């Protein structure tokens, strides 16, 4: 198929582009190359005969329309998004713009162009904090951060296109994803790269929040599977089945790196911090997908990737990231304490 992937230079997007090319599809990658979009993520496929890169924003209606026309796309997979909860607290407007308005532009242009399939990459965070049990696709949406609220906006907007226009939309709600090429603002790559440099690891609150960790390869396999086999108008959860408390993940990655637990600092909590996310993936399993990567193996390989790819993350951490890190963690770390007391 000829597929327009948006946000293909980002973390999940770049793994997805590579996978789709490997599986014989033609891919046009539309990416705005904002702070976390990075063409280095696609260095190995940039000359692939079935790959085209287009630099631009999903909010740019004319550009989206002309790309769809020029490349006669069979399908669209929307990975383009602002994704980091902490940044959404600092700058909520950017999230509403890309994650809601941008998704709306893509949907409308894809519908007008007669695209035969549209997959919206959403997130399990739209269900809000889940104190017990597992979210199913029919559960009420209760997002609690500007990030998850914006993603929920894009998610239900996409579904409305099926109800209203019978435009064949499918939605995936993936859990916390980790792996190579993840921008080091997120928990796992931030902690790995800080630990490599013997820098403190800022653990929010009591460190007992829980997430369900999903290897990026498993997430992309789920997206591809839903794109090819999902029922139009349906939502599919994608989860790794690896629920862990943050503090346990921090200790595990320190152990892999041979670094001391004393690097962990308990710092002031994130405002509105969701305590737990957990998804029920029975629906996608019935469709034939299963996660293949154990958390132990996936985390070990991810640690190894960051250990051996300093040339990828050092330039990132020395650029715009520095000001962000100072704003986000400077005060927090100066008032922090170790987990030992
Ligand atoms: P994150 O990677 O930001 O994903 P999300 O908030 O979307 O789940 O964070 C994962 C968990 O790690 C979350 O409970 C917040 C926590 N966390 C920290 O304790 N310290 C940090 O510096 C970061 C970035 C996250």
Residue 285, in any domain of the structure: no
- 50, 8: one domain: yes
Q: What is the pLDDT of residues 251-280, one digit of tens each?
A: 999 999 999 999 999 999 999 999 999 999
Residue 312 in this model has a pLDDT that exceeds 70: yes
In a domain, 327, yes or no: yes
Give me ligand 1 centre to Cα 128, in Å. 14
282 domain-assigned: no
Nearest to 115 by CA among 77, 154, 172: 77
* Statement to judge: residues 201 and 59 lie in one domain: no
Among protein residues, the one with the nearest Cα to ligand 1's atom 25 is 187
Q: Ligand 1 center to residue 37 CA distance, Å? A: 20
Are 135 and 199 within one domain? no
- Domain with residue 229: its CATH number is 3.40.50.720
Q: How far is the CA of 71 from the centre of ligand 1 (A)?
A: 38
CB atoms within 10 A of CB 36: 23
Does residue 57 lie in a domain region?
A: yes
Cα(246) to centroid of ligand 1, in Å?
8
Shared-domain flag, residues 7 and 73: yes
Residue 100 sits in which domain range? Answer: 2-178+214-238
Question: Are residues 199 and 312 both part of a single domain?
Answer: yes
What is the distance between the alpha carbons of residues 260 and 319, in angstroms, rounded to a whole number?
A: 27
Q: Which of 127, 147, 183, 306 is catalytic?
A: 147
Q: What is the mean pLDDT of residues 182-196?
A: 98
Which member of 31, 109, 125, 185 is catalytic? Answer: 125
In 3D space, the residue among 193, 285, 204, 284 whose CA is nearest the CA of residue 246 turns out to be 204
Residue 249 CA: nearest ligand 1 atom is 12
Residue 226 has pLDDT above 70, yes or no: yes
Tell me, yes or no, whether 93 lies in a domain: yes
Q: Give yes or no for a contact between 118 and 262, defined as CB atoms under 8 angstroms apart.
A: no
Q: For residue 186, how far is its CA from the centre of ligand 1 (angstroms)?
A: 6
Active-site residue, selected from the candidate residues 109, 124, 224, 274: 124
pLDDT exceeds 60 at position 341:
no
pLDDT band at 340 (very low <50, low <70, confident <90, very high): low
28-39 average pLDDT score: 97
230 and 318 in a single domain? The answer is: no
Pocket mutation for ligand 1, best pick of 246, 277, 321 (most atoms within 8 Å of C-beta) = 246
- Name residues contacting ligand 1 (CB within 6 A): 85, 125, 176, 186-187, 190, 202-204, 209, 211, 246
Residues 154 and 92 in one domain: yes
124 included as an active-site residue: yes
Share of the chain above pLDDT 90, in %: 97
Q: Ligand 1: which of 122, 174, 204, 328 to mutate, most ligand atoms within 8 Å of CB?
A: 204
pTM to 2 decimals?
0.97
**Is residue 281 assigned to a domain?**
no
Q: Are 275 and 210 in contact (CB under 8 A)?
A: yes
Say how many domains are in the chain: 2
In a shared domain, residues 234 and 305 = no
Does one domain contain both 195 and 331? yes
Q: What is the CATH number of the domain that holds 333?
A: 3.90.25.10
Name the residue at shortest CA distance from atom 21 of ligand 1. Answer: 187
Q: Write the pLDDT tens digit of every residue in 295-308.
A: 999 999 999 999 99
Q: Quick count: other Cβ atoms within 10 Å of Cβ 272?
A: 12
Determine the average pLDDT of the residues in 54-68. Answer: 98
Residue 278 domain-assigned? Answer: no
Query: Is 165 one of the catalytic residues?
Result: no
Q: With 60 as the cut, is the pLDDT of residue 317 above it?
A: yes
206: Cβ contacts below 8 Å, ≥ 6 apart: 266
pLDDT of residue 190: 98
Residues 223 and 80 in one domain: yes
Does residue 319 register a pLDDT over 90?
no
Q: Whose CA is nearest to atom 10 of ligand 1?
A: 187
Identify whether residues 201 and 97 lie together within a single domain.
no
Q: Is residue 289 part of a domain?
A: no
Q: Which two tokens stand for residue 31?
A: 């990416």
Predicted confidence band of residue 91 (pLDDT cuts 50, 70, 90): very high
For atom 11 of ligand 1, the residue with the nearest CA is 187
> For residues 118 and 75, what is the distance between their CA atoms, to the nearest angstrom?
6
> Catalytic annotation on 198?
no
* Residue pointed to by tokens 């996978």: 19
Question: Measuring from atom 9 of ligand 1, which residue has the nearest CA?
Answer: 187
Report whether pLDDT(156) > 80: yes
For residue 311, pLDDT over 80 is answered with: yes
CA of 176 to the centre of ligand 1 (A): 9
Which one has a higher pLDDT value, 341 or 114? 114
Nearest atom in ligand 1 to 204's CA:
19
Same domain, yes or no, for 148 and 24? yes
Q: Is 323's pLDDT higher than 90?
A: yes
Question: Which pLDDT tens digit goes with each residue over 129-151?
Answer: 999 999 999 999 999 999 999 99
Best residue among 211, 212, 219, 252 to mutate for probing ligand 1's pocket (most ligand atoms within 8 Å of CB) is: 211
Mean pLDDT (the chain) is 97
């Amino acid at each position: 198929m000829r597929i327009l992937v948006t946000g293909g230079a980002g973390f999940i997007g770049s793994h997805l582009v590579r996978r789709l090319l490997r599986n014989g599809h033609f891919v046009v990658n539309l990416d705005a190359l904002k702070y976390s979009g990075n063409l280095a993520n696609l260095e190995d496929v940039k000359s692939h005969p079935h790959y085209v890169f287009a630099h631009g924003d999903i909010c740019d209606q004319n550009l989206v329309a002309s790309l769809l026309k020029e490349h006669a796309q069979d399908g669209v997979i929307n990975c383009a998004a602002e994704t980091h909860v902490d940044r959404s607290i600092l700058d909520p407007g950017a999230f509403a713009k890309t994650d809601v308005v941008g998704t709306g532009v893509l949907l409308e242009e894809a519908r007008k162009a007669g695209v035969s399939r549209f997959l919206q990459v959403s997130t399990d965070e739209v269900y809000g904090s889940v104190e017990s049990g597992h979210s199913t696709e029919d559960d009420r949406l209760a997002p609690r951060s500007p990030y998850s609220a914006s993603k929920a906006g894009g998610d239900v907007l996409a579904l409305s296109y099926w109800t209203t226009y019978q435009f064949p939309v499918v939605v995936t709600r993936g859990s916390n994803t980790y792996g190579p090429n993840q921008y080091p603002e997120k928990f796992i790559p931030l902690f790995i790269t800080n630990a490599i440099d013997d820098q403190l690891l800022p653990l929010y609150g009591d460190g007992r929040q829980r997430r369900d960790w999903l290897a990026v390869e498993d997430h992309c396999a789920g997206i591809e599977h839903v794109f090819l086999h999902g029922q139009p108008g349906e939502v599919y959860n994608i989860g790794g089945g690896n629920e862990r408390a943050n503090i346990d993940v921090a200790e595990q990655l320190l152990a892999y790196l041979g670094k001391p637990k004393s690097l962990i600092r308990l710092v002031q909590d994130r405002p509105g911090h969701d305590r737990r996310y957990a998804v029920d993936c029975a629906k996608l399993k019935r469709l034939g997908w299963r996660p293949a990567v154990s958390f132990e193996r996936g985390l070990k390989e991810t640690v190894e990737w960051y250990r051996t790819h300093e040339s990828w993350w050092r330039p990132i951490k020395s650029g715009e990231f520095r000001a962000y890190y100072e704003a986000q963690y400077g005060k927090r770390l100066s008032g922090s304490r170790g987990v030992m007391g």
